[in-house]
Structure 1
Amino acid sequence: MTEYSTALSSNVRSRFFINGEWVLSHSGARHVLISPATEEPFMSVPLADSVDVERAIAAARRAFDSGPWPKLSGAERSGYLKRLTEEIRQRLPLLAQLWTDQVGAPITFANGLLPTGITRFEFFASLAETFEFEDARPTRRGHARVRREPVGVAALIAPWNATFPIVSHKIAAALAAGCTVVVKSPPESPLDALIIAECAAAVGLPPGVLNVITAGRDEGAQLVQSRDVDKISFTGSVATGQWIARAAVDRLARVTLELGGKSAAILLDDVDLPSALAALTPFTMPFSGQICFAQTRILAPRARHDEVVSAYAEIISKLKLGDPRETDTRIGPVLNAVQRDRVRGYIEQGISEGAQLVLGGTGNGGFGKGYFVEPTVFAHVTPDTTIAQQEIFGPVVSILPYDDIDDAVRIANDTPYGLSGSVYSSDVERAYALACRIQAGHIGINGVELAANVPFGGYKLSGVGREGGREGLEAYLETKAVFMPTAAG
């Protein structure tokens, strides 16, 4: 394991970033990081209390109300973001190692997905430079100047599973819009956002524009309920997202919520199965299924169901379960014992409700230590079973047979979620027509893709609003119309 006493600065290891300065926690409380692969502690980090939260909010409030940041042009903010991006780029190898050690992401997976965080900074830096923050429209008396202004102080609450890519989406968009922010890092993966803060200090971001603390649930609630916070962007569980939405309603704070999914991958009857599974399989249980857009339900034509089960299970059976630091590992541990036991509970429930266990189960792969769950595949799953309805967040995939296109649409849409999905066919227009009937915000044809210039978010319980693309920037803007009379002649 990396020796972080030298790889990380003392500031990142022991302080928060508030008002452009590295500060000690008020209470001195600390949280111990446990390796999911070894169950051994490898570092402790400070935790914020209510005083730290208030300090961070106050710094962001001052920076927005009195500081230069919201008054800068889009091009000026773009310059900061471009320099910040280059500072972060230099730290990608370190960020990849942290993703592996903090939460167990296989290092090959981490190295492959981390660059999406960089592309998100690059995209919003470019968009800030070109975005039309004001335009003129003719009116009866003259014209109106329509302005898009930053919403204010934004609370950015990141999850533990993919902290760097997700918090990059939030920080880059908020700063491009001219907001000031308070980032609440999760205790399980606290270091990613603090590294971004270190990069912000290196490029001279004005004090108070970016503030980063590490905190638990109670402090997160304090942040959400503060009347000095104008916008909340949260990625995480449905239950917490619903609570945040209710809390925001009291003062009509602006909210973006991304809350997970139960995504369906639909194989049409004309699909070339080897090529389809080659494209699909890496997205069915990436990072042991602990990714919101994982394609955890495979819908197969009833006539080809057994063929799909056999081919998919064979691929999964060859994936190495093991130490996430080894480059040939494809399935690592889940986050902790609670998550492991939760996933095993779903597997047991799938068996008890009559699904056919094809591969895996509740075993740990023979490891003496580590929070391992064997990659698990169920066949002949019916849409009403628990494993077909609820987000498991583990390496568990269900294969469901369908009778015709209408049946496939019905099954795909028959969950409370609507985040992602994919359709596989030799006829892309036929696949597109089906995609248009799926109640989800992010659907791939013959593959799954993430793109910084494309909005990401979901229908139904998968959330409210979008991140990424122009839509992601607009989520941090208010629109103002100023009516101007015709100038006197």
Structure 2
Amino acid sequence: MPDFPVDVADEFRECFYVGGRWVRAGAGRRVTLVSPSTERDVLTLPLADSTEVERAVAAARAAFDTGPWPRMPASDRAAHLKRLAEEVRGRLPLLAKLWTAQVGAPIGFAEGLVHAGESRFDYYAGLVEDYAFTERRPTRRGHARVLREPVGVAALVAPWNATFNIFAHKVAAALGAGCAVVLKSPVESPLDALVIAECAEAAGLPPGVVNVITADALESARLVGSPAVDKISFTGSVPTGRRIAEAAARRMVRTTLELGGKSAAILLDDVDLSTAVPALMPFVMPFSGQICFSQTRVLAPRHRLAEVEEALLAAVRSLTVGDPWERTTDVGPVLNERQYRRVLDYVETGRAEGARLLTGGGRSAGFERGHYIDPTVFTGVTPGMTVAREEIFGPVVTIQAYTDIDDAVRLADSTDFGLSGSVFGADAERAFEVAARVRTGHLAVNGFEISPNVPFGGRKLSGHGREGGPEGLEGFLETKAVFMPGS
């Protein structure tokens, strides 16, 4: 198999998509993609310079200020979104392969999850058709017309771990609202957004409505700091999110920030482990734990701790570590050498702070090359330990014991994050009552699900704002009230 076993268009290799055209990048810096499984250089692509960032923003600005997109009837935008969804649907196999080729997601995992991204375009096409962009409310003098208008030019920034799906969340809602967008691709996975650009072109979206560049941290800062940008939607790390929030606050620019998590799965005292553990496992360390909503902390009743340890240990040891292109692989490599060292440093910290290692904790046997880490389980973990508080973003899960429900909720809330979580128990309504007490943005009972019509987002350091559902559309809208005489 070649190092980069995906045939990508020539335009993707040398161009950005700006103003409705494939524009050849200048002779500036480039980024080299490195295979997570072989550690070999596989592809070299251009990085935008300051001029190219400014051109992309200017194209979006012109499309919003003078183009038809924000002014056309919502039903027409919905029709465009439906065509865009069809174009995306035809490229799902390509998008799955790109996920594997660029960042090492197991191909079976990728093929299953790209459909979640596709569903966003269909959902927002349907929502926009019926959404009340104008509402009448009675007043003393007559009535008011409440208008929900597109916020303007939106800078959309996605991370490397699930680039297409995260962009789909943002793009579908922003376009449905009537915004013009600039997609800033991550340097580790720059190809996904170019596929979206190809889909937008094929669907006949007006020029400048969708623009795509790949940029590093310096030029990304130039994008989000541009005075021509009205909205920033960012998914990524807490430090970068803070910098964006500070820059946005200076201009009062609207932001949506999703900054990661340290989510807890609470196993109630009446839980049936024979059903709960299989339901939980796909979300404990999906994509080697490199997913923001991973359920990385398992909270177990103290009197059932040994039972939970045994069940979780057996499940984790049954995972197949291997080549991400093999369909039997459950756990592939982590992204790169930096990520590999970071995860193993956390493992050593866990040991040093007194956590007990049940399995894993080092390089996977049989892999001389590639960033492979054995699935790792810690028990004897207490709330103050680093592995219980910080997002590791690797195949590491911890087990913590609790004494009663109040203690379980306290432990679930004992980190600075509040993105996701889950509760497992024999009585779903009792589990719901526990879930309702946890200070996090998204939870599930006796399973896990992400749906396009349901809001997703976090609290505390996990960020603010929501993506998905009507809430996701409203994140790209401004509200205006016009008072009118008469009824």
Are the counterparts in 2 of residues 151 and 476 from structure 1 also a CA contact under 8 Å? yes
Bigger shift: residues 131-140 or 288-297 = 131-140
CA distance in 1, matches of 2:5, 2:79: 32
Q: 1:330 & 1:313 partners in 2: Cα distance?
A: 15
Q: Which amino acid aligns with 1:193?
A: A
> Which residue does 1:202 correspond to in 2?
202
Does 2:219 correspond to 1:219?
yes
> Is the Cα contact below 8 Å between 1:17 and 1:212 reproduced in 2?
yes
Name the counterpart of 1:22.
22
Match of 1:421 in 2: 421
User: Which residue is equivalent to 1:272?
Assistant: 272
Distance 1:166 1:431 in 2: 29
**CA–CA distance in structure 2, aligned partners of residues 2 and 252 of structure 1:** 48
- 1:380, 1:397 → 2: CA distance? 12
Query: Does the 8 A contact of 2:6 with 2:98 survive in 1?
Result: no
User: Are 1:166 and 2:166 an aligned pair?
Assistant: yes
Superposed CA deviations along residues 257-306 of structure 1, whole A, max 9, x for unmatched, are: 00000000000000001100010011000000000000000000001111
Q: Secondary structure at the match of 1:455?
A: coil
Q: What residue is the counterpart of 2:356 in the other structure? A: 356
Query: CA contact under 8 A between 1:262 and 1:418: conserved in structure 2?
Result: yes
Aligned to 2:12: 12
Tell me by how many angstroms 1:387 deviates: 0.1
Count of residues in Structure 1 that have an aligned counterpart in Structure 2: 487
Cross-structure match for 1:374: 374
**In the alignment, which residue of structure 1 is the partner of 2:306?**
306
User: Is this contact kept in 2: 1:27–1:48, CA < 8 A?
Assistant: no
Whether the aligned pair in 2 keeps the contact of 1:157 and 1:184 (CA below 8 Å) is yes
Q: In the alignment, what sits opposite 2:477?
A: 477
Q: Which runs of 5+ in 2 are unaligned?
A: none
2:455 corresponds in structure 1 to 455
Structure 2 counterpart SS, 1:480: strand
SS, match of residue 250 in structure 1: helix
The equivalent residue for 1:395 is 395
1:44 equivalent in structure 2: 44
Aligned pair 1:147/2:147, yes or no? yes
CA distance in 2, matches of 1:20, 1:27: 21
Percent identity of the aligned residues? 61
In structure 2, the residue matched to 1:100 is: 100
How far the C-alpha of 1:453 sits from its partner, in A, is 0.1
Give the Cα separation in 2 of the matches to 1:208 and 1:373. Answer: 43
In the alignment, is the contact (CA less than 8 A) between 2:4 and 2:101 conserved in 1?
Answer: no
Paired letter, 1:139: T
Instruction: Return the alpha-carbon distance in structure 1 between the equivalents of residues 383 and 14 of structure 2.
Output: 48
Gaps of 5+ in 1: none
Letter in 2 for 1:277: V
TM-score (norm 2): 0.99
Shift of 1:143: 0.8
From the superposition, tell whether residues 66 and 2 of structure 1 become closer, same or farther in structure 2 (CA, over 3 Å).
farther
Deviations 1:57-79 (A, max 9, x none): 00000000000000011110010
State the partner residue of 1:110: 110
Q: Which region of structure 1 is more displaced relative to structure 2, 22-31 or 321-330?
A: 22-31
CA RMSD of aligned residues (A): 1.1
* Deviation larger for 114-123 or 18-27: 18-27
User: Cα distance 1:3–1:9, how it changes in 2: closer, same or farther (>3 A)?
Assistant: farther
Cα separation, 1, equivalents of 2:316 and 2:220: 38
Distance 2:5 2:372 in 1: 28
Contact 1:107/1:324 (CA < 8 Å) preserved in 2?
Answer: yes
Residue 283 of structure 2 is matched in structure 1 by 283
Q: Which amino acid aligns with 2:417?
A: Y
Deviations 1:86-136 (A, max 9, x none): 111111111111100100100010011110001011101111111010011
The residue aligned with 2:68 is: 68
